[in-house]
Amino acid sequence: MKIVCSRQQLVEAVSNVQRAVSTKSSVPALEGILLRTSGGEVTLCGYDLELGMTTSIESSVEESGSVVLSARLFADIVRRLPGESVSLTIDEKNITTIKSGASEFSIVGIPADEYPDMPAISGDDSVTLPQHLLKGMIRQTIFAVAESDAKPIHTGTLFEIGEGRIRLVSVDGYRLAMREEAAGGDAQLSFVVPGKTLSEVSKLLSDEEEDELELRVGRRHIQFRIGSYCVISRLLEGEFLDYRAAIPQSSTTEIIANTREFISSVERVSLLITDRLKSPLRCQFGNGEIHLSCSTAIGRASDQFEAALTGDPVEMGFNNRYLLDALRNSEGDEVKIQLNGPLSPMKVMPREGSDYLFLVLPVRLKTE
């Protein structure tokens, strides 16, 4: 195998594909990136048996072939090469010579036939979406994905596609995040994508309105086609929470609050709360204002700001980080908050419409 390609294109491709490479595996080839020539291109592939990523870059192919190179070493080398172009030559013993400018490296490769095959997606279910739309939807729901494996299904985000809508839902036992948008197509689909996959997919998505991506959904895997990249991931199996039953249908208190003021107030009062000094944030809703306070071993803090309130006054406690996550991921200058007593979840929504919905479970307060 002998190829010449642009260093800049190679650096970008290696940096992205490397994120799907296994950092520790009993199969040495899985700690590497597979390079394979096809036509006037070289295809790079990273795969950790759960998430796989491939992309192709233009190259001048003098001899076709394939090899697996250590992802960490190969990435470190190409990032530091001095020239504009890079030449790769692989001999029959998989010794790979990398040249650029005055620099030359020889590293040992692994035969490509030791690299496991990526799964093929069976099934014709596909959906096309604007990239910026999915990127925003992932950002507004991924923060509520469970980090512990107590219920593995909740370490992912539920996708529901049908009736011209796409909905993403994440839950972790303490909060819920839901985002919904219009989407074309006739597909009726429901599946759960691992949070790690969505985090990597989000990094590849563009903010340009005209850029689109394609989702192809199989029985056990999903494929994202994003520009020149193809990401394949296993889907999570199990029974996802019946989130509709978890959303309170009625409320006794409704508040319209300025999002920025609410965030700033929570951030100020949270200065006394640390990982070591945990304390619930006490929130009092009433008399046309929201009053926040907390008390830890190092002191007390309180703050308040005006808000439009209808219904019963109520006092509740919250985990400050969970409350901040919900507010920071809200869109718009103002949020609508619905409460149904001190022990029912807080519902955070846009002032108009229902594009997103966040639930934050309250924390029991000690009586002072």
Paired with 181 in beta bridges are 166
Mean pLDDT of 288-308: 94
Cα distance between residue 132 and residue 351, in whole Å: 23
pLDDT for res 124: 67
Cα distance between residue 205 and residue 212, in whole Å: 9
pLDDT for res 250: 92
For residue 187, give both structure tokens.
């597909």
Evaluate if residue 351 carries a pLDDT over 70: yes
pLDDT for res 245: 93
Rounded to 5 degrees, what are φ and ψ at 112?
-65, -25
Mean pLDDT of 298-326: 95
Cα distance between residue 191 and residue 236, in whole Å: 8
Residue with tokens 């919250």, as numbered in its chain: 318
pLDDT for res 183: 82
CB-neighbour burial class of residue 13 (10 A; exposed 0-12, middle 13-18, buried 19+): buried
Rounded to 5 degrees, what are φ and ψ at 144?
-100, 10
pLDDT for res 232: 96
Evaluate if residue 186 carries a pLDDT over 90: no
Q: In order of start, what are the domains of the chain with their CATH numbers?
A: 2-114 (3.10.150.10), 125-243 (3.10.150.10), 247-360 (3.70.10.10)
Mean pLDDT of 137-144: 96
CB-neighbour burial class of residue 151 (10 A; exposed 0-12, middle 13-18, buried 19+): middle
Q: Are 100 and 79 in contact (CB under 8 A)?
A: no
Full-model pTM: 0.92
What proportion of the chain, given as a percentage, has pLDDT over 70? 99
Evaluate if residue 120 carries a pLDDT over 60: yes
Return the sign of the alpha-carbon dihedral for residues 180, 186, 188, 192.
negative
* Summary mean pLDDT of the chain: 93
For residue 329, give both structure tokens.
């991921």
Cα distance between residue 9 and residue 227, in whole Å: 14
Cα distance between residue 67 and residue 64, in whole Å: 11
Rounded to 5 degrees, what are φ and ψ at 118?
-80, 150
Q: Are 124 and 42 in contact (CB under 8 A)?
A: no
CA angle 222, 149, 153 (to 5 degrees): 40
Alpha helix (H) ranges present in the chain? 7-17, 71-80, 131-139, 195-204, 243-246, 259-269, 320-328
pLDDT digits (tens, 9 = 90+) for 227-282: 999 999 999 999 999 999 999 999 999 999 999 999 999 999 999 988 888 889 99
Evaluate if residue 353 carries a pLDDT over 90: no
